[in-house]
Amino acid sequence: MVDEQERLLPIANVGRIMKQILPPNAKVSKEAKQTLQECATEFISFVTGEASDRCRKENRKTVNGDDICWALGALGFDNYADAIVRYLHKYREVERDKATQNKATCISSQDKDEESSEDRSNQPPHQQAEAPSTRV
């Protein structure tokens, strides 16, 4: 039973997703959570297996988002595939924007560091290396 539980999605996560869809006062039985937990795990395994087979045929070791989208379509889940493709494009766009912002922030920080280094180098030598004096 432990091996079976390890391969399943965490039941708390499944329950949380289920509760988000239902009205606030609705209750979800343990049996319903377990049933959906098994179904969702099986669905993910099914789609991932199809994507993995494609990667193996193409001599690739890494399954990516495009492979999952392809597998959904190949398995007849075209509506899901279309939605996931749109999500994947938006996700990649956001990640690209984050990377661009991070790069700009790093460059800006480097410029400031270089400016402060230049400011220190313009000081007379005796002021550059001078440490604050402390009296005892």
Letter for the amino acid at 21?
Answer: I
Question: pLDDT of 17-51, one tens digit each?
Answer: 999 999 999 999 999 999 999 999 999 999 999 99
Q: Is the pTM of this model over 0.75?
A: no
Which tokens belong to 73? Answer: 């379509």
C-alpha 6/C-alpha 3 separation (Å) is: 5
Domains and CATH numbers, the chain: 2-104 (1.10.20.10)
DSSP 124: -
- Specify the DSSP element, H or E, that contains 68: helix 65-74
